[in-house]
Every structure is written in C-alpha cells, then in structure tokens.
Amino acid sequence: MAEASRWHRGGASKHKLHYRKEVEITTTLQELLLYFIFLINLCILTFGMVNPHMYYLNKVMSSLFLDTSVPGEERTNFKSIRSITDFWKFMEGPLLEGLYWDSWYNNHQLYNLKNSSRIYYENILLGVPRVRQLKVRNNTCKVYSSFQSLMSECYGKYTSANEDLSNFGLQINTEWRYSTSNTNSPWHWGFLGVYRNGGYIFTLSKSKSETKNKFIDLRLNSWITRGTRVIFIDFSLYNANVNLFCIIRLVAEFPATGGILTSWQFYSVKLLRYVSYYDYFIASCEITFCIFLFVFTTQEVKKIKEFKSAYFKSIWNWLELLLLLLCFVAVSFNTYYNVQIFLLLGQLLKSTETYSDFYFLACWHIYYNNIIAITIFFAWIKNMFLAIINDTYSEVKADYSIGRRPDFELGKMIKQSYKNVLEKFRLKKAQKDEDKKTKGSGDLAEQARREGFDENEIQKAEQMKKWKERLEKKYYSMEIQDDYQPVTQEEFRELFLYAVELEKELHYINLKLNQVVRKVSAL
C-alpha cells in the first residue's frame, strides 16, 4: 500500500521535494541579483552619455543666437521674426555678430585664430556656416475664377511634388541655382511639412565683411520670393574644454498664409567617445551589456525550445522578447553610429573652407539616445519580481488555495537560518520558542475563563487545537523526512470528529450572528 501510494505521488520523497524548493528559491535569488546588475549597467550606459556641460553649452548658444536682439530694436530677435524684413535684420545683425569673433573684448588678438572664429572665445566654428532655401513653383494651387483678375499667381504649401527645381534671379551663383543633395542627413520635419535635402544653397565666408556684403546683395536682389517656403541656417562648433560638439540648425518657415514661423535645434554631442578614464569605464559597461544580452538571449532560446508554443502564452515572455529586441536595436544603432564617426569625422575636420555636415552624426546620436531611453523604460517597467518568481509564487498560492501549507517558503528559510545562527553563537536557546508556546497556550485559556467563556467551550477548543496540531505534525511537518504515509482508520475517525466539531462551531457562530442582525434590525 505504501509503495502504491508512493507511486501515485510520483516517487518523490518529502526531503527531495523540500530540496528542490530550496534550489528553486536559490536560483530565483541568483536571477534577481543578475537582473539587478543588468539594470545598474544599463543605467550607467544611459546616464553616462550625458553630462551637465551639454545643457550649459546648449543654453549659452541658444541665448546667443535666439535671444540676442537687433541693435536698436529690443523686441526683434530670431524667436520674434514675423516678416521678411525682420529676417534680414536678424541675418545682418545678431547672426553676423554671433558667428564672427575675431578679436578679444578689448579688440586685441589674444591668440592665433588660424583663420577660424572662436565663439565666446572657447568654441571653434568648424568649417563655414551654410544657408539653404526650398521653394515651390507657381500655379501649385488654383485661384477661384472670380479672383483671377486680381491674383494671377498661386503658390501652394510645400511638398516634394510642388518643389521648384528651376534656377531664378541672377542665376550666376549656387544661391540662384538648384543643387541636389549629396548628404545622408534625414529630411527635416518642420511645423508645416517635411523638407528634403538640396535646394538653393550658399556658404558664408570666413570674412565678416564679405558675409555682410553677401547678405545685402541677396536682400537687394530679392533672394526670398513668394515661393520661398523654408530657409535653413546650419553650422557646427567644437569646445575642446569639455570635448563636445554643438550642431546648430535655425529654421524659418514661410507658410502659404504669409508670415514666418521660426524653430531651432541645438544638439550637444560627444563624438570623440573614448578619451578619459571615465570614457573607458563606459566602454567596459558597453561590453558588459553585450555579454548580458548574449546570456539572456541564450536563456530565452532554451525556453522556447523547451516549452515551444506554450512559451508564447505568457505576457512576461513577450516582455522579455520585446526587451531583447530593443537591446539588439540599441547595439545596432551604437555600432553604426561609431562606424560613421570613424569614417566621416576625419573628412569633416579637414575641410575648413566648406560646410561640415555634422547634422547627420548628431541625428544618429539622438536616435541612439532615444532607443536606449525606451530600453531602460521597459527594463524598469517590467515587474522583475513577478517576472522572475512567477512560477514559484503560483505554486505557493495554489498550496494555500486548497488549504495546504507549502513545503517550502522563502520566509521560513530566512527565519530558520537566523535561528541557527543565534543558536550557534549561543545567543538563543533551542527550546525557548517551545516554552513560550506552552506558556502562551495556558495564558489564552486563563484569559478565556476570565472573560466568562463556558468551561465546556474552552475544553472543546483545546481538544480541537490538539487534533489540529497532531494532524499538522503528521502531514505538514517540515522535519519529517520519510515517504508519504497513508491515513489509517483511527486517524480518519479523528479527522471526521474534528470536522463535525468544526461544523458545530460554525453553526453556533452563525446563530449568534443572526441574533445580532435581528436585534440591529429591530432598532
């Protein structure tokens, strides 16, 4: 009979089940620790790429080019531009003065500028700035017949289909001739449309006076027309003190309704990645991140092979796959970004007389920052405790739902380890708890007598408690190491009597509750 019972139970003894639970909890703690280290590493990667100097560099440059007013007109700056006249005032005033710093504040040359501007004396202007215009053709919209006598021209909103590709004006230089794009920079998403690369382009001179004459010539010859829809002003700076590049784009959009809408982009990025010891520490964190990614991927592949289609029925598994996908995308972005820096940075720094297009590298830096931010968001959103201990938690919950104590609990393991340490160092006697338990039981009986309980009720309660303790000792004790034992007839009789007495007590309590309810209703 015992053999049959053991076969029915799967042939596993209690001490083996207990050992297996210990292994599960130990493994769970190890996974928690591993995932916690992964989160710390991911946070270092995310926040280690930024520093306060990026904020301050953006703030200084935005204050110079956005908030500086036109001389004599305090309310006219780049942010407040509303007309073509305001635009040319900005170009010939704040922009010109902000780009060309060729002497110290006392008009003395402090050091050799090597034919380059030093904005705020600390930021080197890389190459020369570039100005680019996009236009639309005439008749890209239809004038209502009643107004055709008053207005024969119609310039619609900007689209790639409406874009004007023909030469105009003086047609002698690049600013009057359409140029196709030779850059990999993404299209610009503005307030009024998505603008592609190319257009009517010119670069500024190294000389401040030549640039000013250029602006005056363009203004007098109506470089901005009714078909103009957007003008971009692009330039890049480098600050060696903090090893940061600042890529700046000022945008003026000319809607079909008239007027001007301004916007801007200031990107302070670290293109020279590995210079200081801290940079090499970040590099080691990147390598660690790749190792974690390989380990987690291997674990998920093993789970998919083991559980097959059942693997995809858990929401936690889908979250794991999403997190792994984001990690792979982040690694891919970072790899491509570093390769492009290696290939393009040297070429961009060599050309000092032409426009250096760092905007492409800045965009990819922003893409990488965005994807790593999304990755860390989902890494923290994932409830790592439920995701990792979900199986163990479900088993324990199932044990309690059927009225059976679980064979192993994390709290009991910690409590037992604590007791063992105290007993080992002779800080606590082994039988102390048992003495307290016996004393506490007697105190409860005396307290019940003082409160007026009937002696028969107290005796029945003590008898039921003894039955309960005897059954628990036989079937739920953690100290029993032998195989499962079948219930005898005498034990079944005791269990039946225990159930009958329990039913009587519940019936008695129910009657008392009904009496109380009737009294309350009568009131």
Kindly state the average pLDDT of the residues 481-506: 67
Kindly state the average pLDDT of the residues 160-183: 87
Where do the DSSP E strands lie in 4-163?
A: 118-119, 123-135
Two structure tokens written together for 26? 């130990």
CA distance 504 to 496: 13
- Cα dihedral sign for 466, 472, 484, 1? positive
Q: Is 351 helix (H, G, I), strand (E, B) or coil?
A: coil
**Looking at residue 507, what is its pLDDT?**
75
Contact between 209 and 100 under an 8 Å Cβ cutoff? The reply is no
Residues forming beta bridges with residue 201, ordered by sequence position: 132
pLDDT digits (tens, 9 = 90+) for 276-332: 888 899 899 999 999 999 998 998 999 899 888 888 888 888 888 999 999 999 999
Q: What is the mean pLDDT of the chain?
A: 79
Residue 478's Cβ-count burial label (10 Å; 0-12, 13-18, 19+) is middle
For strand 228-239 and strand 200-203, is the pairing parallel, antiparallel, or unpaired?
Answer: unpaired
- DSSP one-letter code for 144: -
Two structure tokens written together for 363? 């965009």
**Looking at residue 8, what is its pLDDT?**
38
pLDDT at 62 over 60: yes
Two structure tokens written together for 306? 């083991």
CA distance 488 to 485: 9
**Looking at residue 53, what is its pLDDT?**
92
**Looking at residue 248, what is its pLDDT?**
95
CA distance 388 to 380: 13
pLDDT digits (tens, 9 = 90+) for 369-393: 889 889 988 888 877 555 455 555 5
Of the segments 15-24, 95-104, 406-415, 417-426, which one has the largest average pLDDT value? 95-104
Please, where are the H alpha helices in 113-158? none
pLDDT at 421 over 60: no
For strand 244-253 and strand 261-269, is the pairing parallel, antiparallel, or unpaired?
Answer: antiparallel
CA distance 218 to 87: 12
Buried b (16+ CB within 10 A) or exposed e, 189-228: ebeebebbbbbbbbbbbbebeebbebbeebbeeebbbebb
pLDDT at 349 over 90: no
Model confidence at 89, in pLDDT bands (50, 70, 90)? very high
Kindly state the average pLDDT of the residues 88-97: 92
Contact between 405 and 476 under an 8 Å Cβ cutoff? The reply is yes
Contact between 186 and 196 under an 8 Å Cβ cutoff? The reply is no
Residues forming beta bridges with residue 188, ordered by sequence position: 195
Kindly state the average pLDDT of the residues 123-152: 87
- Cα dihedral sign for 216, 222, 226, 230? negative
**Looking at residue 356, what is its pLDDT?**
84
pLDDT at 400 over 60: no
Residue 408's Cβ-count burial label (10 Å; 0-12, 13-18, 19+) is buried
Kindly state the average pLDDT of the residues 202-206: 90
CA-closest candidate to residue 323, choices 246, 405, 382, 255: 382
In this structure, the chain runs to a length of 523
Q: Is 245 helix (H, G, I), strand (E, B) or coil?
A: strand
CA distance 261 to 193: 12
Two structure tokens written together for 64? 């110079």
pLDDT at 411 over 60: no
- Residue 381 sits at φ, ψ, to 5 deg, of -65, -35
**Looking at residue 343, what is its pLDDT?**
84
Kindly state the average pLDDT of the residues 60-65: 94
